[in-house]
Amino acid sequence: MTAASLDVVAVGNAIVDIIAAADDALIDAEGLTKGGMQLVDAARADVLYGKMGTAHEISGGSAANTIAGMAALGRKCGFIGQVADDQFGKVFSHDIRAIGVDFTTPMRGEEPPTAQCLIFVTPDGQRTMNTFLGASQYLPAKALDKVMIERAAVLYLEGYLWDPEEPRAAMREAIAIAKNAGRKVAFTLSDNFVISRHGDDFRALLNAGDIDILFANEGEICTLMDTEDFEAAVAAAAPLVPTLVVTRSEKGAIAIQNGVRAEVAAEPVDKVVDTTGAGDLFAAGFLAGQAEGRSLADSLTMGSVCAAEIISHYGPRPEADLKALVAARLG
């Protein structure tokens, strides 16, 4: 097996996030599930956009956020995701390349347009996401950069992208490419709604040994393992995957790697402004820590440091120097 020249290559939705403050009354009036994510069509996206106040437009997408965080921590990364040949597609492509990430996925035509995620952030920092997937749900297997996947130590897959059929087939192909090259596969469950639709697929991947690192939050691991008991869910999931990582919001995070468990507390934050991207950046910190050869506990701490930075401001991309924050915390 040749040495990896990239730490991680991710396959995920290529989305531009549109983020605005909102109150609970608006969330209720629009029939939205606070703190959740729902898919919307172009017409509904237009209606919700019209309800937004002053908004921030930032390149996003769950796995792309993770890769951006890893790049900020000095790791070498690639990204595979579908955009259209339109304004948002050009913005996304420019943004991800500007931070040093390899991005070679060819653009599609102008229709459907590049994906957008309309995010309402309530005063408690909870984000309610309404995603128009647009071009991102049409990532074909032929658009995969096989050489890039083979060059990466870890292939990181975004659960959100498992929902549409064409990218699901592409992700299965990406897993095969990575495994044939002797690389690891990491998977993030993304959201309970994804698990409710595709939990059987995810459990099959785990049982087949296709996933080496599984990321979940407390609710997601319970949904996947079909129990409301957190410790029971962890006990059921841990034997199925070499590394299990579960975030628990203010309760911190745990990881179990080959039977060894580590736990860390959440990092202190003066004020939670926006939780968009918290899980994504936690994964970035953890994977960067593992790439650096750090211990399981220190990798969890790196994830917590990155998540704490993200929730202190609007948007899912880091604003502070993550390397400096990690160095101050861990040396």
Per-residue pLDDT of the chain (331 residues; tens, 9 = 90+): 788 999 999 999 999 888 999 999 999 999 999 998 888 998 899 899 899 999 988 888 999 999 999 999 999 999 999 999 998 899 899 999 999 999 999 999 888 999 999 999 999 989 899 989 999 999 999 999 999 999 999 999 999 999 889 999 999 999 999 999 999 999 999 999 999 999 999 999 999 999 999 999 999 999 999 999 999 999 999 999 999 999 999 999 999 999 999 999 999 999 888 888 899 999 999 999 999 999 999 999 999 999 999 999 887 889 999 999 999 999 8
Question: What is d(CA 199, CA 194) in angstroms, rounded to the nearest whole number?
Answer: 7
Cβ pair 120, 35 in contact under 8 A: no
**42 closest CA partner among 92, 96, 116:** 116
Which residues, including other chains, have CB under 8 Å from residue 161's CB and lie 6 or more apart? 11, 12, 13, 63, 136, 137, 139, 167, 168, 171
Q: What is the pLDDT of residue 74?
A: 97
Of all residues in the chain, what percent are helix, strand and coil, respectively (each to 5)? 45, 20, 35
Q: Which helix (H) or strand (E) holds 79?
A: strand 77-80
Question: What is d(CA 106, CA 137) in angstroms, rounded to the nearest whole number?
Answer: 14
Question: What is d(CA 46, CA 36) in angstroms, rounded to the nearest whole number?
Answer: 19
Question: What is d(CA 282, CA 278) in angstroms, rounded to the nearest whole number?
Answer: 6
The dihedral through the CA atoms of 106, 110, 115, 116 has a sign that is positive
Give the C-alpha distances (Å, rounded to integers) separating 316 from 17, 142, 147, 191, 239.
9, 29, 28, 16, 32
Q: How many CB atoms sit inside 10 A of residue 221's CB?
A: 27
Question: What is d(CA 181, CA 178) in angstroms, rounded to the nearest whole number?
Answer: 5
- Domain map of the chain by residue range? 6-13+61-111+137-330
Q: What is the pLDDT of residue 109?
A: 87
**Would strands 260-264 and 253-257 be described as parallel, antiparallel, or unpaired?**
antiparallel
- Residue 191 tokens read as 């959201």
The dihedral through the CA atoms of 25, 28, 32, 34 has a sign that is positive
Question: What is d(CA 308, CA 267) in angstroms, rounded to the nearest whole number?
Answer: 6
**130 closest CA partner among 37, 33, 23:** 37
Q: What is the pLDDT of residue 46?
A: 85
Which residues, including other chains, have CB under 8 Å from residue 208's CB and lie 6 or more apart? none
CATH hierarchy code of domain 6-13+61-111+137-330: 3.40.1190.20
The dihedral through the CA atoms of 62, 181, 214, 254 has a sign that is negative
Question: What is d(CA 215, CA 283) in angstroms, rounded to the nearest whole number?
Answer: 7
